[in-house]
Structure 1
């Protein structure tokens, strides 16, 4: 067995600052108090504070300018989709908005894949959807399902679709144990997803969009029910 990693002081401080920023305690555009004051308030060294600041700058929540100080960025105006995993962990309501985008973008990707997929991409999709059917256990089924959607994005030939798909999965896969409802039975999961792949293989964009939307709405309904159950 492998021991679980222990959170460092920097980890704890980073989490605290991030939650305070996202909760609005430090509003967008405001300057944080001087480092010495913050370090004393949190009971940490200025070196620890600088490390935590560095992580939050990299995450897109802070910006530091020499001679001015550390300012809270307006992430809703300036941030990118890479912030979604962090935002979902802070507030699960972001997940509902992700579901909306997942459906719209997923249907668009499927339709585009149907019109552009190469023979190699179609062969890959056929093999990956069979992996859903043969996966062992809900977690393996869910991950196999995700690989089909990544392959659909790649089949469009548009790398932006690939990055968007990755971002959406990065946002909700960390919560996948609460979203595993559609993947309890491998055969059922396959049956829901196979029509999307079949329509792409047939080169029928309209049928692919329709099948993808049906799949995404059905799985969303099951996932939302699972989230409500977990919240009780």
Structure 2
């Protein structure tokens, strides 16, 4: 067995500062207290504080100007979708907005894929769909399902759809275990997704969009129910 990683002081400090920023205790545009004051307040060295600042700057939450100070960035105005996993970890409420985008983009991807799919891509889609039914357990079925959606995005011929699909899946990562409900029965997961693949394979954009809408709505409902149960047990956004 592989040993679990241990949190360092920098990890703990980064998480504390991140939570303070996302909770609004340090508003966008405001400057953090001077480094010496913050370091003393947290009981850490300035070197440790600088390491935490560096991570948060890389994440898009802070910007430091020499001789001026460290300011909280307006991430909702300046940030990108790469912030979503961090925001979901802070508050699963973001999932509802992610699902809204998921429905819209997913339907568009299926529609576009049906208009552009190639014979080789149809073969790949059916192979990946078969892997969903053959998965041993909810987690493998969930991952297999994700690969079908990545293949659908590739079938659009638009690489931006591929990146958007990856972004949405990455956003789920902090709460993925709570979203396994639709995939616990692999055969049912397969049957739920099959109409989307077959409509795309048939080259019928309207049917593909309709099938994708039904699939996305059904899985969203089950996922949100699972997320609510996990939240009740205190298992999300740890």
TM-score class, shorter-chain normalisation, is over 0.9
The question of 1:13 aligning with 2:48 is answered no
Contact 2:102 2:168 in 1 (8 A): yes
- 2-side partners of 1:164 and 1:59: how far apart? 19
- 2:96 corresponds in structure 1 to 96
- 1:85 corresponds in structure 2 to 85
Query: Displacement, 1:116?
Result: 1.1
Tell me the alpha carbon deviations over residues 51-101 of structure 1, each in whole angstroms, 9 at most, x when there is no partner.
111110110000111221111000011111110000000011000000111
- 2-side partners of 1:230 and 1:13: how far apart? 26
- 1:55 corresponds in structure 2 to 55
TM-score relative to the length of structure 1: 0.98
Q: How does 1:8-157 map to 2 (within 5 A)?
A: 8-157=8-157
Tell me the alpha carbon deviations over residues 182-215 of structure 1, each in whole angstroms, 9 at most, x when there is no partner.
0111110000001100011111111111000100
Query: Displacement, 1:177?
Result: 1.4
Gaps of 5+ in 1: none
Root-mean-square deviation (CA, aligned residues, Å) is: 0.9
Partner of 2:70: helix, strand, or coil?
Answer: strand
- 2-side partners of 1:68 and 1:99: how far apart? 40
- 1:200 corresponds in structure 2 to 200
TM-score relative to the length of structure 2: 0.95
Could you list the runs of 4 or more consecutive aligned residues of structure 1 that deviate by over 6 angstroms after TM superposition?
none
- 2-side partners of 1:121 and 1:228: how far apart? 37
- 2:174 corresponds in structure 1 to 174
- 2-side partners of 1:38 and 1:106: how far apart? 45
- 2:209 corresponds in structure 1 to 209
